[in-house]
Amino acid sequence: MLYPEFDPVIVHIGPAALRWYGLMYLLGFGGAWWLGRRRARAAGSPVRPEQLDDLIFYGALGVILGGRVGYILFYDFSQWLADPLLLLRIWQGGMSFHGGLLGVLAAMLWFGRRHGLGFLRVSDFVAPLVPVGLFFGRIGNFINGELWGAPTGLPWGMRVPCAAHLDLCMNKLGLDGGAALTPPLHPNQLYEAGLEGLLLFVVLWRYSARPRPLGAVSGLFLLGYGCVRFLIEFVRMPDSQLGYLAFGWLTMGQLLSLPMLAGGLWLLLRAKRGQA
């Protein structure tokens, strides 16, 4: 299959431009807000509907600031030292989920303290909303033509034009300058959209439909995302500036997912003991 080249700009409005990447973030936040309204109206919800706007606003700040700063710290620190304005050019891609997660955790802590709610009560409310943003974010990665998987012989592998993706062809795949197309690559972004986004959303939404012990929903999110991300990294090419960190296969994404796996397992065991 040939990767369909997308124009990253949907429409120019005077000097400004509406980009697909930005639209995906808006859809993610909008979807989380809409679903959050449904959860907030349910009996026993710790968050009232009139508080939801504040929660989504703080969460959006956490995603954007934490995601960008996390990417710079975890994946591209040396390049940022050479070009400090790189931090501001988010339309070029380069957002770290793990950095965004830290930003959202800080936002939930702030929101919980401001409204007299415990942190885990807020995180259990928010956890089923996060995969919505993950789904749209990965679709944005696909449109941007970034975060490709490794070469594959599977029939749905995609060949990417090298002229528009020199870093992918020359730095990650080691192709010479005359190559027109990559070999077929795993459409890793679509895998993640389906697993981190749709599948994890369905699991968490159904699991949280019944009352659960405190921290159980948050724990299932951390464990579910951590498992999916750790496994998908095996068919995803590492960032060219980092490569593999150890053993010829360990990536930064896997390393950052280990605390999520440990934290999710701990929260689930803690919830089970509290229920017993």
Instruction: Give the pair of three-digit tokens for residue 25.
Output: 């973030």
Q: Which of helix, strand or coil describes residue 149?
A: strand
Q: What is the largest CA-CA distance in the chain?
A: 64
pLDDT value, residue 246: 86
Mean pLDDT, range 246-254, rounded to an integer: 89
pLDDT value, residue 92: 62
Within-domain flag for 165: no
Q: Which domain holds residue 39?
A: 9-150+186-275
Within-domain flag for 175: no
Within-domain flag for 167: no
pLDDT value, residue 88: 73
Within-domain flag for 173: no
Rounded Cα distance, 264 and 275, in Å: 16
pLDDT value, residue 51: 92
Mean pLDDT, range 116-141, rounded to an integer: 94
Q: Beta partners for 17?
A: 12
Within-domain flag for 80: yes
pLDDT value, residue 17: 80
The string of pLDDT tens digits covering residues 143-168 is 988 889 999 999 999 999 998 888 88
Rounded Cα distance, 62 and 104, in Å: 5
Tell me: pLDDT of 130 over 60: yes
Please say whether the beta carbons of 91 and 19 come within 8 A: yes
Within-domain flag for 89: yes
Q: What percent of the chain has pLDDT over 90?
A: 59
Q: How many domains does the chain have?
A: 1
Within-domain flag for 177: no
pLDDT value, residue 181: 92
Tell me: pLDDT of 236 over 70: yes
The string of pLDDT tens digits covering residues 41-94 is 988 899 999 999 999 999 999 998 888 888 888 887 777 777 777 777 766 667
Instruction: Give the pair of three-digit tokens for residue 236.
Output: 């995803």
Within-domain flag for 166: no
pTM of the model as a whole: 0.90
Instruction: Looking at the chain, list the stretches that DSSP marks H as alpha helix, in order from N- to C-terminal side.
Output: 20-41, 49-75, 77-82, 97-114, 119-126, 130-144, 166, 188-192, 200-207, 216-232, 252-275
The string of pLDDT tens digits covering residues 198-228 is 999 999 999 999 999 999 999 999 999 999 9
Integer CA distances (angstroms), 36 to 30, 61, 71, 125, in order: 10, 17, 27, 8
Mean pLDDT of the chain: 89
pLDDT value, residue 14: 78
